[in-house]
Structure 1
Amino acid sequence: MITTEPVGEWFWEPSLVLDAAASGASRPLALVGEVRDVLASLGLVTGGGTGSVVLCDRSAMAHPLFERRDVPVAAMAEQVAAVRLLPGRQLTVSLVLPGEWLETGIRRRAEKLFGVRVEVWGEGAVLLVLSTYADAWLTQDLRERPQPEVAAENAPRLAAALKRISELTESPIDPGDATKHARPTAEGFADLLVEGAEYDDSWGTFEVPARWKRLMRLVPGASEGEDYESSTEHPVRYAHVRRGEQVVGYLWAAVGDEAAGYEPRTAAGDAAFEAGVPWVLSLRSLRLRGFGPMAALNELLGVADGSGSGSAVEPAVHEAASLDALEELSARH
C-alpha cells in the first residue's frame, strides 16, 4: 500500500562542510544524487523524479529567500547554482523518487516510493533523511494482514540500501521515531508479526482521512453543504480517471445513498491529487443542479477535463463491494 505520509524515515549526519559559503550549495546536490544512485543500483528507484531547492534564513523559515519546487532532476544543478549559503541560513535539497517493489515476483511501481532530503546549515552542519511511502518492507500490511512473503522479496534490498548509505556518508544511521504505521530500525523495520502494530488498521484510521483532507485543500471554494456525502456503507460504482496512459484516480458514486467523490490513486503521486480537483468541482456543480450521485457519475463518463489538467473519465463503469474496498484498491495498484 502507498501512503501520502512516510511509513518510516532514517537519518544520517555526514561530515561538516568546511567552507559552506564556497561549497555548501553543491554538497547537498551531490549527496542526494549519490543516494539516488544507491537506490537505483538495488532496483528500488527507476529513473525520473522531481526535486526542490529551498533556501531560508533560519529566523524566518516560513518565508524562503529562494524556492523552486517540482524541478526535473536534470535541472537541479542550475537551481542550486543560484543560491548562496551563508551563516544563519539553511539550504534544503530534496528529491521525490519513483520506484518499484515486488509482489510474488510481479513488479509494482509508485511515482513517490522514496524521498531524499539533505539540509545544510551555513555553519557547515549536514543532515540526510531518507523516507519511504510503501509498506512493501513490512511483515504485515497497513491493515494488519500478514505479508511475510512480500517483506522477504523487498526488505533485504532496503536493508542493503541503508547499509550502503551509512558507508557512503561515513556516519551511523539513526532510525526515526515510530510512525503511525511502523517502527524503523537500522536494518529497515521492526517485525510487526512479532511486536504488532502500534495502531489498528493505520491505513483506515490515519491515511484515508489524510488523503481526503489533502485533496480538499486543493479544491477552491467552500464545500459545506455543496458536495455529495464523502462516505457510504453501500456498494459503489466507479470509473477510472486517466491522465495519458496513467490511471490517476477513481470517480465513484454510491449505490443507495447520497455519496459520491474521487479517490486518488496514491501510486500516481502528486498528480493523483491535482487531477482530482476538476472532478470534485464537476461533482459539486452537478449536485447543485439537482443530479443524484449515480446520475452525476453517468454524466461525467467519457468526459475530458476542460481545465487543462489533461485528465479524462473512462466510459466503462466498475463496481466495488464498498467504498473501503475502492480506497484499498487506490492504495495498491
Structure 2
Amino acid sequence: MITSEPVGEWFWEPAPLVDPADGGVLRAVGLLSGLADVLVACGLVTGEGSGSVVLSDRRAMASPLFSLHNVRVEPGAGFGAGVAAAAEQAAAVQLLPDRLLTLSLKLPGEWTEYGIGRRAEKLFTARVEVWGEGAVLLVLSTYADIWLTQDLRERPQPEVAADNAPRIAAALNQISKLTESEIDPGDATKHARPTPDGFADLLVEGAEYDDSWGTFEVPVRWKRLMRLVPGGSAAEDYESSTEHPVRYARVRLGEQVVGYLWAAIGDEAAGYEPRTAAGDAAFEAGVPWVLSLRSLRLRGFDPLAALSELLGTPDSGGSGSAVERTVYEAASLDALEELSGRY
C-alpha cells in the first residue's frame, strides 16, 4: 500500500563542511545526486522525478530567502542536473551562519508484486540539509509497505518483502559508503520500525498499531485533501463517511487514474478518494470534484444522483481530469479506500 506520510526514514550525517560559503551547494547537489544514483542502480526508482531548492534564515523559516519547487528531473539527465541550476541561484544569496539550504527530490519507483508490475509516483523522497555553520544531514523516506513482512492492514506478505526488502537493504548500505557515515534509522512510525538494513520483521515483532492504514493514513489523506479545497470541509458537503456500500467512478488525468468519485447507497454520503500511488496529482485533481459535489448538494441532488450527474464530464476548471462513465460498486467505503491506496 502507498501512503502520503513516510512508512519509514533513515538519516546520515556526513562530515561537516570546511567552508560552507564555498562548498555548501556543490556538496548538497553531489550528495543528492549520489543517493539518487544508488536508488537507480538498486532498481528502486525509475530515473525521473521532481526537485525543490529552499534557502531560509532559520529565524524566519516561513519566509524563505530563495525557493523553487517542482523542478523537473528527466531520465538520463542525471538527478543533479535539474536541481543544480536552481541551487546555483540559491548560492548567489549565500549560505551564511543561521541559514539552511535544503535540496529535495520526489522519486517515482516501480516494483513487482505477486508477478504484477506496480508503480508509485512518490515511492521515495530524498532530502539534504546544509547548515550555514557547516553541518550536513541526508534523509531518505519511503512511502510504501512493500518492504514489510505484513501490510498496513496486518496481513502477512512475506513473499512481497522477500522480493523487495533486499534491494532497500543494499541501497542503505551503499548510501552509508557514499556518505562515509553511519546510518541512523528514524524512530518507529505509525506503520513500522526502520532498522539499519530496512525494517523490523512485523511477523515476529507485531505491528505497534492495529490497522495503521485505516486508523492513521485514511484520516491524514482526507485532511490533506480538505486543506486544498477552498473553504475546507464545508457544512454544505455530503457526509464524508458511511457504513453502506458505495458506487464509484474512476477519475482520470490523461491516461492515469488519480482517484475515485463515490456515493453511498443508502445514506447522504459522497466524496473523492485520492489514488495515493498517483502522487500529489491525486490530491490536486480531487479539488474540483469535491467542489462539484458541494454544488450539486446545494442544488438538492442526492449522492447517487450527484455521481450520475458527473459521469463522463471533464473538470470545468481546466485541470484536465475527467470522470469516467463506467460505475463500479464496492461493498464498503473502507474497501474503496483500500483500493485507492494499493495501486
Give the TM-score band, short-chain normalised: over 0.9
Out of 21-30 and 131-140, give the one that drifted further.
21-30
Query: Residue in 1 aligned with 2:130?
Result: 120
Give distance in 1, aligned partners of 2:247 and 2:232. Answer: 26
Per-residue deviation, 1:70? 1.2
Aligned residue number for residue 82 of structure 1: 89
1:188 aligns with 2:190: no
User: Corresponding residue for 1:252?
Assistant: 262
Q: Which residue of 2 aligns with 1:279?
A: 289
Greater mean deviation of Cα atoms: 210-219 or 81-90: 81-90
Where 2:219 maps in the other structure, the secondary structure is helix
Instruction: Confirm or deny: 8 A CA contact 2:226 2:232 kept in the other structure.
Output: no
| 1:231 and 2:202 correspond | no
Give CA-to-partner distance per residue, 1:182-237, whole Å, 9 cap, x none. 00000100000001011000000000000000000000025432000000111111
Which residue among 180, 183, 189 is the counterpart of 1:173? 183
* Matching residue's letter, 1:274: E
Deviation at 1:90, TM superposition (A): 0.6
Q: Partners in 2 of 1:224 and 1:66 — Cα distance?
A: 35
Offset at residue 25 of structure 1 (A): 1.1
The aligned residue for residue 301 of structure 1 is 311
* 2:334 corresponding residue in structure 1: 324
Q: What secondary structure, in the 3-state scheme, does the structure 2 residue paired with 1:25 have? A: helix
1-side partners of 2:146 and 2:119: how far apart? 11
Amino acid at match of 1:60: A
* Deviation per residue, 1:33-79 (Å, 9 max, x gap): 11111001111100221111111111222221111111112531111
Distance 1:224 1:162 in 2: 44
Q: State, as a whole percentage, how many aligned pairs show the same letter.
A: 77
Provide, for residues 244-297 of structure 1, a one-character-per-residue CA deviation record: whole Å limited to 9, x for no partner. Answer: 000000000011111000000000000000000000000000000000000000
Supply the distance in 2 between the matched residues of 1:231 and 1:200 (Cα, whole angstroms). 20
Report Cα offsets for 1:169-192 as digits up to 9, x if no partner.
Answer: 110000000000000000100000
In structure 1, what is the Cα distance between the partners aligned to 2:111 and 2:148? 12
8 Å CA contact 2:49–2:108 kept in 1: the answer is yes
Which position in structure 1 is the counterpart of 2:78?
A: none
**Are 2:277 and 2:342, in contact at CA under 8 Å, matched by a contact in 1?**
yes
1:21 aligns with 2:21: yes
SS of structure 1 residue aligned to 2:334: helix
Alignment of 1:198-237 (within 5 A): 198-221=208-231, 223-237=233-247
* Structure 1 residue runs without a partner (length 5+): none
What amino acid maps onto 1:46 in structure 2?
T
Q: Which residue of 2 aligns with 1:49?
A: 49
Q: Which residue of 2 aligns with 1:68?
A: 68
The one-letter code sitting in structure 2 at the alignment partner of 1:99 is G
Tell me, in whole angstroms, the C-alpha distance in 2 between the residues paired with 1:136 and 1:102.
Answer: 9
1:261-272 alignment to 2 at 5 Å? 261-272=271-282
TM-score for the superposition, normalised by structure 1: 0.98
Partners in 1 of 2:232 and 2:297 — Cα distance? 14
**Secondary structure, counterpart of 1:100 in structure 2:** strand
- Structure 2 unmatched ranges of 5 or more: 74-80
- Two-structure CA RMSD over aligned residues (Å): 0.9
CA distance in 1 between partners of 2:196 and 2:111 (Å): 20
Provide the residue aligned with 1:147 in structure 2. Answer: 157
Q: Which moved more, 1:213-222 or 1:276-285?
A: 213-222
What letter matches 1:289 in structure 2? R
Aligned residues: 333
Q: Is the alpha carbon distance of 1:298 and 1:109 closer, same or farther for their aligned partners in structure 2, counting shifts above 3 Å?
A: same
- Per the alignment, residue 197 of structure 1 pairs with 207
SS at match of 2:89: coil
AA aligned to 2:228 is L
User: Which of the numbers 153, 161, 166 marks the counterpart of 2:171?
Assistant: 161
**CA distance in structure 2 between the partners assigned to 1:181 and 1:81 by the alignment:** 38
Contact in 1 for aligned 2:172/2:197 (Cα 8 Å): yes
Asked whether 1:136 is paired with 2:146, we answer yes
For residues 232 and 246 of structure 2, what CA distance do their matches in structure 1 show? 25
**What one-letter code is carried by the residue in structure 1 that aligns with 2:84?**
A
* TM-score, length of structure 2 as denominator length: 0.96
C-alpha distance in 2 between matches for 1:33 and 1:86: 23
